[in-house]
């Protein structure tokens, strides 16, 4: 309960590429919305600089120890996109920073809302965030005769807590339906267990209808304009949640428009769902980065720590200020508006609400 | 080389639910198109009845031994949808018949074309069909303290042969681009290997551009009307191929409109990508089942065994006869047309070409 805390510490990690630009902008808007709380000392912001790929590579660690200690001294974290090293590029083979943070801070739920009001879409995805195909990413191996093996792990506790969070959300928000998505017909031990346990949790919520789908057919259903508006709340294992939320975000205008909340019992971290766009930085266009996803993540952060009125204001302003359409009209320049100009525009809009 | 064979044996398995209805219709159209070849004895059809869920359950085997022997006596197989038993239903926990057939006949490539000419979509998916998350579906286990484990396996040979098939197809069909889709940033041993080996195969095709994507962002790209027409040929591990081809088929009108080819060095099997629709049978509406997907699968079969002219004719007729729009106008009845009436309509249309 954040209301009871003497002070709420919001950690801010810029990350890589355009990350610092858009995260800084989101912090500016948050400070504007929380002005009184910051003045009272109820809310404070703490910059955490060490989550860059250079620092992580220097320490050969997804999250260097001192950075992890700083993160653990916060209550909630706003995080910019971070570079994930991959085979063949200049960085050593360290784990993705957001995946590591999800595990280290036990952020077991990845919550992603997708809304397209004019099409009747109002979905909330509850993606299990610490297990599944993501658990043992560095334990896979290759035998001498060319057989490579990876593992998928699903635990009873891990499944129960994500299912309970999804159904609690559904109950609290008067949703009537929860859809469980797996590939339990093929991936029997782990997905079979996930399906069975989610169904068992669902039985404790008699007012809510439970249905279940295979992930292949669900990616098709989301495209089907006649059927997709029936869905409300989804609960899924890690990998399927990863896959289907990118597809879903596209209907809303792309991954650039979507934020994601990584929620645990002790900590919570809010981030953009897109990458760090190194090309924009290389081409000297970082100042034109679109901060919408970080601002959507900020809405989730505000709501999570109990500032619902501020969250609603920011949502209303963002709905009016959609970056892509408004970027030109704000400045009249044909290069569009900068990230800072867009932030100013959002704050001006908030003042008119 | 089918031209060199004294006789080509086409096995026909009706399967479950609406399977026998739509498969029988596809066979009727195939016989019509191959009339001369059947008369000459160059092509013969062989009915294989034992692939029903009742018979499979009685033998407690995904494919009973005598059915497997019959399948192995054919050159190519046309297969209707089969029931996949799942937790909690009336059938014992036996493996899916199509997954078992892919393994038993070593049908290592699942080839799925998706075309929407009016939108500029012309995709061909090459899904690895015998490994990945599907390999050891029955070897997963659960420990006493509630930890469930499943395995993913990727082999060097298995990856190379699907990559070569995809690139050979690209070369033969004058495609300029092959896109490799994995989640190699997380699933490092197996997907990392898949990506690396496909790239290495790609280097032997200098006229073709190779790019690679993560499966999450690719499901979004397929929705993006500005970007998706750039894609041509995809090569992907089993599970991602399963997921993304259902999404892709939806743009073409749904899984009911798509066929799939399961190709090996010795055998090939062609099937619908939808299920057996037991509800239609229960409600007494099986005779109204839409045979389009089986007819699209028949196009692939004809082309595979070297009857390209007949394949092109059937494609042209199907493009004119789209089931959903034409079903009513064929008969004037408001129940639509039956599967047989639709088959007649397709054959009449072929005669006018
Ligand atoms: C960057 C990547 C490791 C990450 C994931 O796979 O979870 C991203 O796609 C996401 O969804 O947050
Ligand atoms: C029915 C099911 C086992 C099968 C699969 O997962 O491969 C189907 O979805 C397909 O794509 O052919």
Mutation to probe ligand 2, out of B83, B242, B244, B259 (largest number of atoms < 8 A from CB): B242
User: What confidence tens digit (pLDDT) does each residue in A78-130 have?
Assistant: 999 999 887 677 888 888 899 999 999 999 999 999 999 889 999 999 999 99
Binding-site residues, ligand 2, Cβ < 6 A: A 185-186, 216; B 84, 96, 98-99, 242, 273
| Segment among A240-244, A275-279, B192-196 with least mean pLDDT | A275-279
Contact yes or no for A188 and B150 at CB 8 A: yes
With vertex at residue B283, the alpha carbon angle to CA B281 and CA B286, rounded to the nearest 5 degrees, is 35
Ligand 2 mean position, distance from CA B97 (Å):
10
Q: Report the run of H or E that residue B126 belongs to, with start and end.
A: strand B121-128
A253 band by pLDDT with thresholds 50, 70 and 90: confident
Check whether A327 has a pLDDT greater than 70: no
Ligand closest to the CA atom of residue A137: 1
Residue by residue, DSSP assigns B12-68 as: EE--STTHHHHHHHHHHHHHHHTHHHHHHTSEEEEEE---SHHHHHHHTSSS-HHHH
- Closest ligand 1 atom to B217 CA: 9
User: What confidence tens digit (pLDDT) does each residue in A19-75 have?
Assistant: 999 999 999 999 999 999 999 999 999 999 999 999 999 999 999 999 999 999 999
User: A196: which chain B residues are within 8 Å (Cβ-Cβ)?
Assistant: 87
Residue in B134, B153, B246 closest to A186 by CB = B134
What token pair was written down for B285?
């509406």
Ligand 1 mean position, distance from CA B98 (Å):
32
Contact yes or no for B190 and A140 at CB 8 A: yes
Ligand 2 mean position, distance from CA B29 (Å):
25
Ligand 1 mean position, distance from CA A238 (Å):
10
A136: nearest CA partner in chain B: B187
> pTM for the full model?
0.94
Ligand 2 mean position, distance from CA B337 (Å):
28
User: B222: which chain A residues are within 8 Å (Cβ-Cβ)?
Assistant: 247
Comparing C-alpha atoms, which of B249, B190, B191 is closest to residue B215? B191
A157: nearest CA partner in chain B: B146
Residue in B148, B187, B245 closest to A190 by CB = B148
Mean pLDDT across A152-164: 97
Helix runs in chain B, H state only:
19-33, 35-40, 53-59, 65-72, 97-104, 156-172, 188-202, 215-221, 238-251, 278-282, 292-304, 308-321, 323-331, 339-352
Binding-site residues, ligand 1, Cβ < 6 A: A 84, 96, 98-99, 242, 273; B 185-186, 216
Q: What is the pLDDT of residue A286?
A: 94
Contact yes or no for B216 and A243 at CB 8 A: yes
User: B134: which chain A residues are within 8 Å (Cβ-Cβ)?
Assistant: 186
Q: Are A248 and A273 in contact (CB under 8 A)?
A: no
Mutate to test the interface with A, among B148, B149, B187, B203 (most CBs of A within 10 A): B148
Check whether A326 has a pLDDT greater than 70: no
Query: Which residue pairs from B134-140 have beta carbons closer than 8 angstroms and sit at least 24 positions apart in sequence?
Result: B134/A186, B134/B99, B134/B238, B134/B239, B137/A186, B137/A187, B137/A188, B137/B95, B137/B99, B138/A188, B138/B95, B140/A187, B140/A188, B140/A189, B140/A190
Ligand 1 mean position, distance from CA A242 (Å):
6
| Segment among B121-130, B134-143, B167-176, B291-300 with least mean pLDDT | B134-143
Looking only at the bridges linking them, the beta strands covering B147-155 and B141-142 are antiparallel
CA atoms of A318 and A347, how far apart (whole Å): 10
Residue in A84, A140, A220 closest to B246 by CB = A220
Sheet holding A147-155, edge to edge: A141-142, A147-155, B147-155, B141-142
CA atoms of B111 and B126, how far apart (whole Å): 5
Residue scoring higher pLDDT (A136 or B256): B256
Check whether A136 has a pLDDT greater than 90: no
Check whether B137 has a pLDDT greater than 80: no
Comparing C-alpha atoms, which of A122, A131, A165 is closest to residue A261? A165
Question: What does pLDDT average to over chain B?
Answer: 93
Mean pLDDT across B112-134: 94
What token pair was written down for A149?
């093996």
Check whether B35 has a pLDDT greater than 90: yes
Q: Is the dihedral of CA A235, A238, A243, A246 positive or negative?
A: positive
Q: Which residues, including other chains, have CB under 8 Å from residue A299's CB and lie 6 or more apart?
A: A259, A311, A314, A315, A318
Check whether A334 has a pLDDT greater than 80: no
Strand partners for B122: B115
Contact yes or no for A148 and B189 at CB 8 A: yes
Q: Which residues, including other chains, have CB under 8 Å from residue B352's CB and lie 6 or more apart?
A: none
Residue in A153, A156, A245 closest to B149 by CB = A153
B322 band by pLDDT with thresholds 50, 70 and 90: confident
CA atoms of A310 and B197, how far apart (whole Å): 51
Report DSSP state, residue A132. B
Mean pLDDT across B1-30: 97
Check whether A325 has a pLDDT greater than 70: no
Check whether B52 has a pLDDT greater than 90: yes
Q: Which residues, including other chains, have CB under 8 Å from residue A296's CB and lie 6 or more apart?
A: A257, A258, A259, A318
- Three-state secondary structure call for residue A14: coil
User: Shortest Cα distance from B133 to chain A (angstroms)?
Assistant: 7
Looking only at the bridges linking them, the beta strands covering B209-214 and B177-182 are parallel
Mutate to test the interface with B, among A121, A128, A133, A148 (most CBs of B within 10 A): A148
Q: Are B245 and B111 in contact (CB under 8 A)?
A: no
Contact yes or no for A87 and B196 at CB 8 A: yes
State how far the alpha carbon of B307 is from the alpha carbons of B53, B300, B304, B338, in Å: 32, 10, 7, 28
Q: What is the pLDDT of residue B36?
A: 97
Q: Is A60 left (phi over 0), alpha (psi -120 to 50) or beta?
A: left
Q: What is the pLDDT of residue B324?
A: 62
User: B216: which chain A residues are within 8 Å (Cβ-Cβ)?
Assistant: 242-243, 245-246
Comparing C-alpha atoms, which of A148, A4, A27, A133 is closest to residue A80? A27
């Amino acid at each position: 309960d954040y209301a009871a805390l003497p002070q709420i510490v919001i950690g801010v990690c810029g990350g890589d590429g355009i990350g610092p630009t858009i995260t800084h902008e989101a912090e500016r808007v948050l400070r504007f919305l929380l002005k009184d709380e910051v003045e009272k000392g109820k809310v404070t912001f703490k910059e955490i600089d060490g989550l860059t790929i250079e620092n992580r590579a220097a320490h050969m660690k997804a999250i260097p120890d001192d950075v992890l200690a700083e993160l653990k001294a916060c209550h909630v974290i706003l995080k910019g996109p971070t570079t994930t090293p991959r085979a063949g590029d200049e960085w050593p083979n360290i784990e993705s920073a957001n995946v590591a943070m999800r595990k280290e801070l036990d952020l077991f739920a990845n919550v992603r809302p997708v809304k397209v009001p004019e099409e009747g879409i109002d979905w909330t995805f509850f993606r299990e965030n610490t297990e599944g195909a993501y658990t043992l990413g560095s334990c896979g191996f290759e035998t001498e005769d060319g057989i490579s093996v990876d593992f998928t792990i699903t635990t009873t506790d891990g499944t129960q807590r994500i299912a309970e969070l999804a159904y609690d959300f559904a109950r609290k928000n008067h949703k009537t339906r929860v859809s469980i998505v797996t590939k339990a017909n093929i991936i029997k031990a782990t997905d079979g267990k996930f399906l069975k346990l989610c169904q068992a949790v669902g039985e404790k919520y008699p007012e809510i209808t439970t249905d279940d789908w295979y992930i292949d057919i669900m990616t098709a259903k989301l495209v089907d304009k006649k059927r997709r508006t029936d869905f409300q709340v989804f609960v899924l294992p890690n990998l399927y949640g990863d896959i289907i939320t990118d597809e879903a975000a596209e209907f809303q205008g792309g991954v650039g428009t979507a934020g994601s909340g990584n929620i645990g019992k002790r900590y919570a971290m809010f981030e953009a769902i897109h990458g760090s766009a190194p090309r924009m930085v290389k081409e000297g266009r970082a100042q034109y980065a679109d901060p919408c996803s970080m601002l959507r993540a900020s809405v989730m952060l505000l709501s999570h720590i109990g500032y619902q009125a501020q969250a609603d204001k920011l949502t209303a302003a963002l709905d009016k200020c959609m970056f892509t359409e408004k970027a030109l009209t704000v400045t009249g320049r044909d290069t569009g508006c900068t990230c800072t100009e867009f932030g100013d525009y959002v704050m001006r809009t908030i003042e008119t609400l």
